[in-house]
Structure 1
């Protein structure tokens, strides 16, 4: 049953009961499985399971043929109003309507592909039949243009061909409607191909040029007729759906990788022959649907969906943060490979490590003007304020750390400290300092103690700024464990990313912790950290003073990556001119 569907066997109050004179027809592609005491009904856009009576299969046998032929009116008339049979028929038809499995039987025949999804098949088919589609191409007689023309004709539209200018090599542009209201482009780039999202001709030309530049591999363009037909058919389908007011094919199905609210392009490959939709925004955003800005992610899963889109191997702008072959014990690790080195992050969970690695990679790519990137404003500010505090509140020689009893009793601090000193066998020292007597802000530092007992403390392995001694010690020790684990990998880690509590709120949204899950459990601990985060931000603002940071909207004019991150709901904090 679909996620938002009514409960099996229930009749939604909002669904009007079909009258005796309304003729209903099953949508093309409908299928049914008879159960012992029920039915499983499914179609292109919905499904429902009805259970509770052994009479349901028999009732369906009575109703199926009239519904398939669109001649259910007579059957409904024969069933006496108010009778149990009529009530059962009305209930079954109401369920079919609620799950978009039937449609009013049209007076005139409509193409099956239109009737499968259209809310009003007759109007949609009429709009498509009235459309005149122009196929523009550098070579109007080429295989891609001819395949597009055939697909458009078979879909019910009238077609003309013309030479097109300002198109990437190997591309076609399909335009339809008054003033060329709708357009879709398709193209072949070596062993890859693409189909843009529908839009204005200007927008689609810009998208096609950007995709051609991104997908070009230098290989000779495929001459496969099958490949050309795949791309041309997909382009024709998207255009005709736009003309007829049908759902865009990219929105069909349940591909969880696609982000609601953002356009998707079809990306295809020759070897092996495959094609799938991918969320993508080009550099030139002329149409209103290309200038959309998503709200900040509500959950960590939602944030990682956006990370996956931005890190897509074919259409992304940053390398994907992945665990790869990295060992995941004693600490989860994720790496993001940049041209000049690797970003590596460790965190209490792999999903948090992936988000941290991506945000750090974006910060590195943006350069010195960027102070922090986060999936939410809270995460971005948490990252930026912790860094500012780490610089301005670093303990000076001679400062007295807090007694270890104040942090060693924290189960997470004890766990990560033991992992560092016992499991990894590192001689180290962890010190926690209260930044100021009147503020609940603590700065923890893990030093490598070297091999000799009398040796001065040297390299900093990890540090953290948090709201309690235990939290600070735990994140500092975790960062040290991650740094030592990475040292044993064959990586050129130029940008290590320490762990902190800035994303704890994302990680615990909707999380249901058992009553016994205290801060010794990761979820319980992160929930505690998340509750303290707003107060910590306030204290860090007081400690660091004016930061010169802002969520700079004007930066979209100067850096394409900033604009793209913001469109995907990320927060980018930049420094005002003249600030360090």
Structure 2
């Protein structure tokens, strides 16, 4: 009894070859390799193509016939040395994913599968069994027709289905077992394609995305009537509208068929730093000017059992996730930016918030962006809670912010004992620097007092303006840190950034100050140079980060605060039911879900399960 015939190796369609002086350059869809060192390589390449059944140099998908030129040695395929060289060349092609295997004796898979699928045969079999269904209110409309045509060209046989429950500008395609679906929609500005997911989730996502794009860009809402859809078509008539329709249909077909065949999603999360691993990406297209890109989608439904990504390990990763939270198309918060604010003597970043314009200050712009995003999220969530909310890139970051806020809320502008002398903090290079900036460079007649908090290794620094400048509890700035110098430096820095925001920021802006809670993220994974001292910001922040765990322990004893996580689907801290229910607390649902999906931690000071 004869076993099944082994699969035959073939060059990937789309492979191109360029001859070099003593070699070849081979490039495919996702990989390339340069082979050099012998004038015989062009002739060797032609022998390999014949061995793999690529006799026709004009065969679609394999480009670049290489003709042996003068001086190229003639090769004898029977020579053992030639056989060994062919084996080595084949190994190089396989190692660089330029070679694949086709099923023997069966029909050749579509060229696009051969170009990208690790195993084109099984992928083609999965697509043959996928039987896609294209649902639309009008299956003969331009978007549905374009999607059906794209699926048909890819080698499947789509079936149209009239679904009067769908909006006139939307199409849902389903394929495979278990079924997977994508939703594609046209808007007045362009359109979008959802990530492959369960059919009901695809419809839910499409509804939410349409509402969000309508809010941000004025696109036609998902529930527009047929007359509204015709108006959209009229506004987008012409070459640009047809191009957007074709682009959306092609992208929807590709995402659907890749999911049905078990192939990677074309969103390419490993290559695009804006996208988050494990989170869906939405293709957003804009007609004028023509543009399309995958955008992170972080506000989908989430529950207590939904796994959240690990907390960000450093500042760079935190800012990447903030980029997803503040995506201009699908984000839930406004992106903090320097705009035209001054970045010296301190750095500022501004964004919109539910309390109005917000300006955050820090020693560096990246740290100001982090502080602004966290404070904007806190202000949004504060609207639906009875107690304060703390948002951080991880649990330690959120806890540090929560404990400092609790101490400042209970101590006001004075400590529990007499003020320390200036010698306790004035000689520290950072405290001296920021105090000098405040009082000499900005010429503000401020006064600093530093108190120890009870018998703990924790200190409160307060900057006051005798001239009457207002601030929290009559103070221009306050800070709680593990040493008198750290507290004085951060209080002076806070007063500097508050003054800068007042002079250069939007009128009535909310001010957010930098604290030592951000220091561990700022220095994670980096080691300051051995020759630096705490006059260098990185070295100073490293010291604050090293003292942060002991400070949080001390502040917990002082306040008795035991904040708990607030997660999507948990009890509402306002006491009105599960998150996402009607009412003011319900408005926090999308932001809370997005924070959770991006690995951020939300803490509340209220007791009970969250």
Shorter-chain-normalised TM-score: which range? 0.7 to 0.9
Alignment of 1:77-476 (within 5 A): 78=78, 80=80, 90-107=87-104, 108-178=107-177, 181-216=179-214, 217=218, 220-221=231-232, 222-223=236-237, 224-251=241-268, 254-284=271-301, 291-367=306-382, 369=385, 370-396=388-414, 399-436=417-454, 438-450=455-467, 459-476=474-491
| Contact in 1 for aligned 2:102/2:121 (Cα 8 Å) | no
| Contact in 2 for aligned 1:508/1:523 (Cα 8 Å) | yes
Hey, what's the Cα distance between the residues in 1 that align with 2:79 and 2:435?
Answer: 76
- Please state how far the C-alpha of 1:386 moved relative to its aligned partner: 0.7
- Please state how far the C-alpha of 1:104 moved relative to its aligned partner: 2.4
The residue that corresponds to 2:602 in the other structure is 572
| Contact in 1 for aligned 2:414/2:451 (Cα 8 Å) | no
After TM superposition, the structure 1 stretch with the greater mean CA deviation from structure 2, 58-67 or 190-199, is 58-67
Residue 247 to residue 161, structure 1, CA distance change in 2 (3 Å):
same
- Please state how far the C-alpha of 1:232 moved relative to its aligned partner: 0.9
| Contact in 1 for aligned 2:355/2:379 (Cα 8 Å) | no
| Contact in 2 for aligned 1:394/1:443 (Cα 8 Å) | no
Alignment of 1:511-526 (within 5 A): 511-526=526-541
The residue that corresponds to 2:28 in the other structure is 43
1:501 maps onto 2:526 in alignment: no
The residue that corresponds to 1:3 in the other structure is none
Residue 215 to residue 466, structure 1, CA distance change in 2 (3 Å):
same
| Contact in 1 for aligned 2:24/2:41 (Cα 8 Å) | no
- Please state how far the C-alpha of 1:43 moved relative to its aligned partner: 3.4
The C-alpha deviation readout for 1:469-490, integer Å capped at 9, x for no partner, is: 1111111111111011111124
The residue that corresponds to 1:54 in the other structure is 37
After TM superposition, the structure 1 stretch with the greater mean CA deviation from structure 2, 266-275 or 170-179, is 170-179
After TM superposition, the structure 1 stretch with the greater mean CA deviation from structure 2, 146-155 or 343-352, is 343-352
| Contact in 2 for aligned 1:319/1:337 (Cα 8 Å) | yes
| Contact in 2 for aligned 1:344/1:493 (Cα 8 Å) | no
- Please state how far the C-alpha of 1:403 moved relative to its aligned partner: 1.7
Alignment of 1:28-39 (within 5 A): 28-31=13-16
After TM superposition, the structure 1 stretch with the greater mean CA deviation from structure 2, 493-502 or 316-325, is 493-502
The C-alpha deviation readout for 1:300-323, integer Å capped at 9, x for no partner, is: 111111111110111001111111
Residue 405 to residue 77, structure 1, CA distance change in 2 (3 Å):
farther
Alignment of 1:520-535 (within 5 A): 520-535=535-550
- Please state how far the C-alpha of 1:395 moved relative to its aligned partner: 5.0
- Please state how far the C-alpha of 1:242 moved relative to its aligned partner: 1.0
| Contact in 2 for aligned 1:555/1:563 (Cα 8 Å) | no
Hey, what's the Cα distance between the residues in 2 that align with 1:94 and 1:351?
Answer: 46
Hey, what's the Cα distance between the residues in 2 that align with 1:134 and 1:551?
Answer: 43
| Contact in 2 for aligned 1:187/1:193 (Cα 8 Å) | yes
Tell me the matched-pair count: 543
Residue 72 to residue 268, structure 1, CA distance change in 2 (3 Å):
closer
1:27 maps onto 2:57 in alignment: no
Q: Which runs of 5+ in 2 are unaligned?
A: 1-5, 56-74, 221-230, 573-577, 580-587
Hey, what's the Cα distance between the residues in 1 that align with 2:139 and 2:13?
Answer: 34
Residue 470 to residue 249, structure 1, CA distance change in 2 (3 Å):
same
TM-score (norm 1): 0.86
The C-alpha deviation readout for 1:193-245, integer Å capped at 9, x for no partner, is: 11011111111111111111111225652342211111111101111111111
Hey, what's the Cα distance between the residues in 1 that align with 2:212 and 2:323?
Answer: 17
Hey, what's the Cα distance between the residues in 2 that align with 1:66 and 1:35?
Answer: 17
| Contact in 1 for aligned 2:413/2:473 (Cα 8 Å) | no
| Contact in 2 for aligned 1:24/1:72 (Cα 8 Å) | no
- Please state how far the C-alpha of 1:552 moved relative to its aligned partner: 2.5
Hey, what's the Cα distance between the residues in 1 that align with 2:51 and 2:153?
Answer: 23
Q: Which runs of 5+ in 1 are unaligned?
A: 1-20
Hey, what's the Cα distance between the residues in 2 that align with 1:470 and 1:64?
Answer: 74
The residue that corresponds to 2:69 in the other structure is none
- Please state how far the C-alpha of 1:396 moved relative to its aligned partner: 3.6
The C-alpha deviation readout for 1:546-576, integer Å capped at 9, x for no partner, is: x252112314831412222112100001232
The residue that corresponds to 1:550 in the other structure is 564
1:488 maps onto 2:540 in alignment: no
| Contact in 2 for aligned 1:24/1:67 (Cα 8 Å) | no
- Please state how far the C-alpha of 1:272 moved relative to its aligned partner: 0.9
- Please state how far the C-alpha of 1:178 moved relative to its aligned partner: 4.2
| Contact in 2 for aligned 1:192/1:215 (Cα 8 Å) | no
Hey, what's the Cα distance between the residues in 2 that align with 1:250 and 1:488?
Answer: 44
Residue 131 to residue 353, structure 1, CA distance change in 2 (3 Å):
same
Hey, what's the Cα distance between the residues in 2 that align with 1:79 and 1:529?
Answer: 71
Hey, what's the Cα distance between the residues in 1 that align with 2:554 and 2:86?
Answer: 65
Q: Over aligned residues, Cα RMSD in angstroms? A: 3.1
TM-score (norm 2): 0.82
